[in-house]
């Protein structure tokens, strides 16, 4: 079910996939939106209730003037308050993964466990793909064709308007958000106190194996690494394996 709330005079949207299970908050990466987690929500139900935010400038949420780190973290805090629920499991992919671990670091009492999908503690965000994305196309199929092999990863963000087919995100906003994402966040990563799972795509060009292993080493036994046969979008490449990995991690914590 899609819902809306207001944070700092801006309307944000989210998808509550429902059910009686324990809540798990999910945060997407650039070029995506909350609906990217629909397969995960279905796989985790009914034990887990996935609630995914359309982050600022994405999906049905309003565009913003600023896409700094503090802005994204503040949105998550407002989202969590709006839901009126206690401490929860949190999951994030790519940019959403940085948002998730920064939220967990800065609001430790609100996060019980953390899953970070294919992003590091040092980020050199590459927005080159943004510059070659085909813009308005006359049909959905034309947009798919223009995108080629990356089309399945962006399909959840396709939108039709009066002048053709495009995206639910703005190109210029996406570049600004990428630029603001670039940085070193070791302090946040090392400050996370809850049990953490880092999922890396074995073929990822975003998170190297050496960097992932350093992230685990710096958390001194409070984090674990799982590699799956995928690229950067692990939940899209191997959805069943991804869901099983997430389930095994969160279930073991609730039964411990």
What is the C-alpha separation between 178 and 68, in angstroms, rounded? Answer: 9
Give every CB contact of residue 65 below 8 A, 6+ residues apart in sequence.
none
pLDDT of residue 253: 82
Helix (H, G, I), strand (E, B) or coil at 122: strand
Asked if residue 22 lies in contact with residue 89, where contact means CB atoms within 8 angstroms, the answer is: yes
- Give the tokens for residue 32: 């995506």
CA–CA distances in Å: residue 17 to residues 71, 175, 196? 25, 30, 23
Asked if residue 3 lies in contact with residue 82, where contact means CB atoms within 8 angstroms, the answer is: no
Asked if residue 43 lies in contact with residue 247, where contact means CB atoms within 8 angstroms, the answer is: yes
Class of domain 2-124+169-255: alpha beta
pLDDT of residue 10: 92
What is the C-alpha separation between 25 and 42, in angstroms, rounded? Answer: 14
pLDDT of residue 210: 98
Asked if residue 33 lies in contact with residue 54, where contact means CB atoms within 8 angstroms, the answer is: yes
Nearest to 75 by CA among 40, 66, 93: 66
Element (H, E) at 98: helix 95-106
pLDDT of residue 255: 64
Asked if residue 102 lies in contact with residue 70, where contact means CB atoms within 8 angstroms, the answer is: no
Q: Look up residue 44 and give its DSSP letter.
A: H
CA–CA distances in Å: residue 58 to residues 67, 87, 107, 118? 11, 25, 24, 20
- Give the tokens for residue 1: 């079910």
Q: Is the pTM for the entire model greater than 0.75?
A: yes
pLDDT of residue 8: 86
- Give the tokens for residue 203: 């073929």
Strand 10-16 vs strand 2-7: parallel, antiparallel, or unpaired?
Answer: antiparallel
pLDDT of residue 237: 98
pLDDT of residue 231: 97
Which bin fits 134, alpha (ψ -120 to 50), beta or left (φ > 0)?
beta
**Mean pLDDT for back-to-back runs of 10 residues, the chain (256 residues):** 93 97 98 98 98 97 96 98 97 98 98 98 93 93 95 96 94 96 98 98 97 96 96 98 98 76
Asked if residue 116 lies in contact with residue 101, where contact means CB atoms within 8 angstroms, the answer is: yes
Residue that is written with structure tokens 């600023």 in the block: 66
């Amino acid at each position: 079910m899609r819902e809306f709330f207001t944070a700092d005079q801006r309307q944000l949207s989210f998808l509550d996939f429902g059910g009686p299970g324990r809540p798990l908050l999910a945060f997407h990466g650039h070029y995506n939106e909350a609906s990217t987690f629909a397969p995960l929500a279905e796989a985790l139900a009914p034990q887990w209730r996935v609630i995914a935010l359309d982050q600022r400038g994405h999906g049905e949420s309003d565009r913003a003037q600023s896409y700094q780190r503090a802005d994204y973290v503040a949105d998550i805090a407002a989202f969590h308050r709006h839901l009126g629920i206690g401490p929860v499991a949190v999951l994030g992919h790519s940019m959403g993964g940085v948002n998730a671990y920064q939220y967990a670091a800065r609001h430790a009492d609100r996060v019980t466990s953390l899953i970070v999908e294919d992003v590091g503690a040092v980020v050199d965000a590459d927005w080159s793909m943004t510059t070659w994305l085909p813009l308005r196309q006359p049909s959905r199929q034309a947009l798919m064709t223009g995108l080629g092999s990356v089309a399945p990863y962006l399909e959840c963000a396709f939108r039709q308007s009066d002048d053709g087919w495009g995206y639910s995100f703005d190109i210029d906003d996406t570049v600004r958000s990428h630029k603001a994402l670039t940085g070193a966040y070791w302090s946040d990563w090392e400050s996370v106190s809850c049990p953490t799972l880092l999922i890396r795509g074995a073929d990822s060009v975003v998170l190297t194996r050496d960097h992932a292993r350093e992230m685990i080493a710096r958390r001194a036994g409070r984090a674990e690494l799982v590699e799956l046969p995928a690229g950067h979008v692990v939940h899209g490449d191997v959805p069943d394996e991804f869901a099983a990995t997430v389930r095994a991690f969160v279930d073991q914590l609730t039964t411990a």
